[in-house]
Structure formats: C-alpha cells, structure tokens
C-alpha cells in the first residue's frame, strides 16, 4: 500500500487570521480542520511484550522509533519544499497526485525554514514584524511553506487506522 503525504503548513504569522475572502485560514473562528479528537499520547506497539521491553530501556533511547517493535515510523528527514512569500503565490493544487515538484527545494524536517536558507529569522517579542491590525494579516508578505513527503505504508498495516502525528 503506497501513500503520499501532502501537507500545507502556514507560517506562524498566520496564527492571527482575517475574515476576508472566505478562506478558512483567515477566519479566527476556525481553529481546526480534519483534526482527530485530542487524546493522551500513546505509542502503538506490535504486542504487549514489546511495550514492556521499551519501558525498561534507558530514558535517552526510550523514544527512538523502532519499527520492528512499534506500529509507527518517523517521517523525519528530507522533504520537498516550496517557499512562497504569501498565500496567493503558493500553488493551490500542489497536494494533488502527480503534481510536479522537480524544481522544488529540499528541506530537513524537523527544522526551521529560516535557518535552512529560506527567508530570514524574525527575532522579536515586543513588536509584530508587520503593522498590527488584528485580526487581519498582511497579504503582500506573509510567508507560506509547502511540504511534500512520499512514503510507503508498512506491510501488515492493511485495514488499520493510520494517523499522522506532527507532535508540534
């Protein structure tokens, strides 16, 4: 079973949203779309013995992903990445199968795009990096990152619920 993960992530500047244009990300009343209900975080193991064995490991290796004993795997690593200076310049259909990403850059995930050569870090705790006009955000410069990662779902997971956990 093969799957592709297409994830559109908006920069932290979009945390304050506008009501215009009927875009869901501009509506401060919408704070989730297609999100599963919250729950306590558990690691799915292949069986009880493997879960008990994990508990006895030293703390510094306890949370390393081990696909032989757990029913999870990490998507950390190299992803395809497209930086856009605003939402209007980000391609609207990049999440569709077959979208051409050959000219896209590569980025390490987890990681900050600013520290990997895309845009510049913003160090501020007292002033917005744009004119404050809540709940509206600027449309001309408000960076957006599009990420794509392809992976293969492991054999034996057929018929199981599969969740993407971004832990952030």
CB 77 within 8 A of CB 109: yes
Is the per-residue pLDDT at 13 higher than 60? no
Instruction: Give the residue with greater pLDDT, 97 vs 45.
Output: 97
Mean pLDDT of 44-70: 71
CB 69 within 8 A of CB 54: yes
Instruction: Give the residue with greater pLDDT, 15 vs 109.
Output: 109
**Per-residue confidence (pLDDT) for residue 108, from 0 to 100:** 96
**Per-residue confidence (pLDDT) for residue 54, from 0 to 100:** 73
Q: What is the 3-state secondary structure (H, E, C) of 42-75?
A: CCCECCHHHHHHHHCCCCCCCCCCCCCCECCCCC
**Per-residue confidence (pLDDT) for residue 91, from 0 to 100:** 94
**Per-residue confidence (pLDDT) for residue 62, from 0 to 100:** 56
Instruction: Give the residue with greater pLDDT, 93 vs 127.
Output: 93
Query: Global pTM?
Result: 0.69
Q: Which two tokens stand for residue 119?
A: 């845009």
Is the per-residue pLDDT at 22 higher than 70? no
Q: Kindly give, in sequence order, each residue whose CB lies less than 8 Å from that of residue 26, ignoring residues fewer than 6 positions away.
A: 17, 18, 19, 20, 137
- Quick one: 58 exposed, middle or buried, by C-beta within 10 A (0-12, 13-18, 19+)? exposed
Maximum mean pLDDT: which of 3-12, 49-58, 110-119, 147-156: 110-119
**Per-residue confidence (pLDDT) for residue 14, from 0 to 100:** 34
**How far, in Å, CA of 26 to CA of 163, rounded?**
26
Q: Which two tokens stand for residue 64?
A: 């390393």
Q: What is the 3-state secondary structure (H, E, C) of 69-127?
A: CECCCCCCEEEEEEEECCHHHCCCCCCCCCCCCCCCEEEEECCCCHHHCCCCCCCCCCC
Is the per-residue pLDDT at 134 higher than 90? no
Percent residues over pLDDT 90 in the chain? 25
């Amino acid at each position: 079973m093969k799957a592709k993960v297409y994830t559109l992530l908006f920069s932290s500047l979009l945390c304050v949203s506008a009501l215009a244009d009927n875009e869901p990300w501009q509506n401060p009343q919408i704070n989730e779309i297609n999100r599963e209900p919250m729950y306590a975080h558990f690691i799915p193991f292949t069986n009880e013995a493997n879960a008990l064995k994990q508990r006895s490991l030293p703390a510094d290796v306890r949370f390393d992903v081990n696909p032989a004993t757990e029913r999870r795997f990490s998507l950390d690593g190299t992803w395809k990445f497209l930086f856009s200076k605003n939402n209007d310049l980000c391609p609207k259909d990049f999440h569709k199968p077959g979208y051409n990403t050959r000219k896209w850059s590569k980025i390490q995930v987890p990681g900050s795009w600013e520290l990997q050569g895309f845009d510049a870090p913003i160090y501020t705790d007292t002033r917005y990096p744009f004119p404050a006009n809540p709940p509206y955000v600027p449309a001309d410069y408000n960076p957006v990152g599009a990420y794509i990662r392809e992976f293969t779902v492991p054999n034996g997971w057929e018929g199981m619920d599969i969740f993407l956990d971004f832990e952030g």
